[in-house]
Structure 1
Amino acid sequence: MSLTLSHTTVDARDPYAMARWWCEMAEFTPHEGVRPGSDECYVISEHGHRVLFILVPDEKTVKNRVHFCMRPEGRSQDEEVDRAIALGASVVTDFRGSHGWVVMADPEGNEFCILSQK
């Protein structure tokens, strides 16, 4: 017997806003239950991975222990970084010159990386 990854859960002050933001950022598809005011909002990647944004009462205060690493497809890393910023993300640390990725934060401060194309 083994375990199967069901989904990844992300704490959120506004699950709906985070689900909609990630749908725009990563071209995820919202699950039918994604509605304003929902305590839980699922989104699904084109590869079938589900991400659950779940309501929590507290703000993010420390660095994430787990984060998404996103690799550009069809656009350059620079284009994706610029697009993320235009959508409301911020650059946390830019490692493009040394390691090849950019650590960013979504509008609620959750870190994610945009990797270089390989």
Structure 2
Amino acid sequence: MTSYISHTTVDCADAYALSRWWRTVLNYGEDPDDPNEPGHEECMIHSADRRHRLLFIEVPDAKQVKNRIHLDLRPADRARDAELARLTELGATVVADRRHTDGTGWVVLADPEGNEFCILRGEAELTGRPS
């Protein structure tokens, strides 16, 4: 017997606002029969194929330390640096730049509530070397 991941949960202060932000970042959708609305304490978004879901739950605690788990994003249709520019324009902040001169590496970002995630090289940039 095995288990599978039903969804990834993100603790936050404003479930609706953060779910909307990530929905834009990932081009995810929501359940039309249970739409996310301002004031909802739990908001779910999902990939187009509905195989990956993110649940945002309001908690009273503020984020205080580095995440122990985070999302690694790989741009599907653009280069890492173009996606980095898009994400910072949407409100992400750069936490650490781990890019190397040979093009490998990644950038650590934080969403509007401080949750960390990484942006890797885009699909078109991959040449068989590790990110």
Same fold, judged at TM 0.5 (above): yes
TM-superposed CA distance for 1:96, in Å, is 1.2
Query: If the length of structure 1 is used for normalisation, what is the TM-score?
Result: 0.94
Residue 22 of structure 1 aligns to a residue whose secondary structure is: helix
Q: Larger C-alpha radius of gyration, 1 or 2?
A: 2
Give per-residue Cα distances to partners, 1:10-58, cap 9 Å, x unaligned. Answer: 0010000010000111111123331110010000023420110001012
CA distance in 2, matches of 1:23, 1:116: 21
2:111 to 106, 115, 118: 106
Report which stretch shifted further, 92-101 or 55-64: 92-101
Q: CA RMSD in A?
A: 1.2
CA distance in 2, matches of 1:2, 1:18: 31
Structure 2 equivalent of residue 22 of structure 1: 22
4+ residue stretches of structure 1 with deviation over 3 A? none
Note if contact 1:20-1:30 (Cα within 8 Å) is conserved in structure 2: no
1:55 and 2:58 correspond: yes
Note if contact 1:19-1:30 (Cα within 8 Å) is conserved in structure 2: no
Structure 2 matches for 1:32-71, cutoff 5 A? 32-47=34-49, 48-71=51-74
Report which stretch shifted further, 45-54 or 20-29: 45-54
* Matched pairs, number: 118
CA distance in 2, matches of 1:56, 1:76: 35
CA distance in 1, matches of 2:47, 2:18: 14
> Which runs of 5 or more structure 2 residues have no equivalent in the other structure?
127-131
Report which stretch shifted further, 101-110 or 28-37: 28-37
How high is the sequence identity, in percent, across the aligned residues? 51
Structure 1 equivalent of residue 120 of structure 2: 115
CA distance in 1, matches of 2:30, 2:81: 26
CA distance in 2, matches of 1:46, 1:33: 15
